[in-house]
């Protein structure tokens, strides 16, 4: 990563700091802004950033970002709000989560013939990557 790349990223962070209060009124959040900026700066028609991250680095950054976003959202939920929505939370965890896992497993078994059910449950990301490797390198 060159000095100009760091200057672009620093300018983006500075611009977000200056405009964040105004943009959040329109439901434009930091994750949305930085993902869009990352796409435009690395894959856009101009692509001023010369840094092309590897697929493993992008995956790791996405996982860390997801953990941070989920943690920050969960830390803002008050106990009073959680108690008010306890029925919804229990339905989502007790019905929605098992249904999502079951339907995802059935979809993997239908798409990948001859697959063991335990493999379909355990390794969904590698199955999708292998299935679509001709489309997405």
**104-117 pLDDT, tens per residue?**
888 888 887 777 77
How is residue 26 annotated by DSSP?
T
pTM over 0.75: no
Over range 85-92, report the average pLDDT: 88
**43-55 pLDDT, tens per residue?**
766 677 766 778 8
- With CA atoms as reference, report the closest residue to 22 among 33, 36, 10, 9: 33
- Please tell me the predicted confidence (pLDDT) of residue 135: 45
- Please tell me the predicted confidence (pLDDT) of residue 14: 92
* Contact partners, residue 5, CB within 8 Å, separation at least 6: 49, 50, 51
- With CA atoms as reference, report the closest residue to 112 among 99, 131, 126: 131
**21-41 pLDDT, tens per residue?**
888 888 888 888 888 888 887
Query: Can you say whether the dihedral through the CA atoms of 76, 101, 119, 56 is positive or negative?
Result: negative
């Amino acid at each position: 990563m060159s000095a100009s790349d760091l200057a672009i990223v620093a300018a983006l962070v500075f611009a977000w700091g200056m405009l964040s209060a105004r943009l959040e009124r329109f439901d434009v959040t930091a994750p949305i802004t930085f993902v869009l900026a990352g796409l435009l700066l690395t894959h856009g028609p101009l692509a001023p950033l010369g840094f092309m991250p590897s697929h493993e680095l992008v995956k790791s950054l996405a996982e860390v970002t997801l953990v941070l976003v989920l943690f920050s959202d969960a830390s803002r939920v008050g106990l009073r709000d959680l108690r008010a929505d306890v029925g919804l939370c229990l339905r989502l965890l007790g019905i929605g989560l098992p249904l999502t896992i079951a339907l995802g497993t059935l979809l993997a078994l239908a798409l990948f013939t001859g697959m063991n059910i335990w493999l379909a449950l355990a390794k969904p990301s590698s199955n999708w990557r292998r299935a679509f490797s001709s489309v997405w390198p």
